[in-house]
Amino acid sequence: MILRRITKHVKDQNWFAVGLDFLIVVIGVFIGLQVNTWNEARQDRVVAAQFELSLTADAEIILDDARSKIAFMEEALVAVTWLQDAFSQNSAVPDEAEVVDRLRFTLPSHPNRAPSLIEAFANRDLRLVGDEGLRLEILNWDRLLQDSAITQQARREYTRAYVAPLSRLGALAPLVPFEEAVSDSGSRNDMLVALSAMQGVLGGELEAFRLIEHETKTLVELLEARH
């Protein structure tokens, strides 16, 4: 319709009307583009808000998991200290049941990366978070989780040979006489070396989990303050 009007005005050489028609077209296009831009911005805000809510939920799960594992490792370190005392007394026979019970500790696994953040990276949704400081905090937190898992794996590999006597003793003690289990697993000195290695690993892991707890708590507080 507008094209026919422009054609008619050109034939009539009504240049004012032609100019007015073109102005109407330009304004219409501009308004259409602006509305589209506003809609896209609104949709981006909705996606960003949903991502932040999902990330908050994931981070809270990781925070609870870290706190649980910190408590576990603190108890494990107490057990290691007790075992060191038990095996360092060469003339005394350790309480066998107590030894077996306190040998039941393992290194807890590190938390996985937040599923919502992995999805955000895949969809490039992280760019929609308007707060640059928050984006940096999220990236640093994700890098911490990845680096901690890599470091833990290196600790496991390094100490595997040292702590092997403890693993053998834990498996044999319920099945054979205690001194036989110790003899088949190594000497008391081997146990002390293994316990010292385990103490170092648990200490390092405990500090790593405390850092994860602190950084995750900080991130949760930043995210919750935005909603």
Query: What confidence category does residue 1 fall into, taking pLDDT thresholds of 50, 70 and 90?
Result: low
3-state secondary structure of 114: coil
HSE-up of residue 7 (Cα within 13 Å, Cβ side) = 4
pTM: 0.75
pLDDT value for 37: 60
Name the more confident of 159 and 90.
159
State mean pLDDT over 75-102.
76
pLDDT value for 66: 94
HSE-up of residue 103 (Cα within 13 Å, Cβ side) = 25
pLDDT value for 132: 85
How far apart, in whole angstroms, are the C-alpha atoms of residue 14 and residue 6? 9
pLDDT tens digits for range 146-197: 998 888 888 878 777 777 887 888 788 778 887 788 788 887 788 888 888 8
Statement: residue 109 has pLDDT above 60: yes
Range from 41-50, 89-98, 109-118 that averages highest in pLDDT: 109-118
Statement: residue 105 has pLDDT above 70: no
C-alpha pair distances (Å), 88 with each of 60, 106, 120, 176: 42, 22, 53, 22
pLDDT value for 140: 94
Residue type at 67 in one-letter notation: R
CB pairs under 8 A, 24+ apart, for 69-76?
Answer: 69/108, 69/209, 70/206, 70/209, 70/210, 70/213, 72/105, 72/108, 73/108, 73/202, 73/205, 73/206, 73/209, 74/206, 75/105, 76/105, 76/202
How far apart, in whole angstroms, are the C-alpha atoms of residue 76 and residue 198? 10
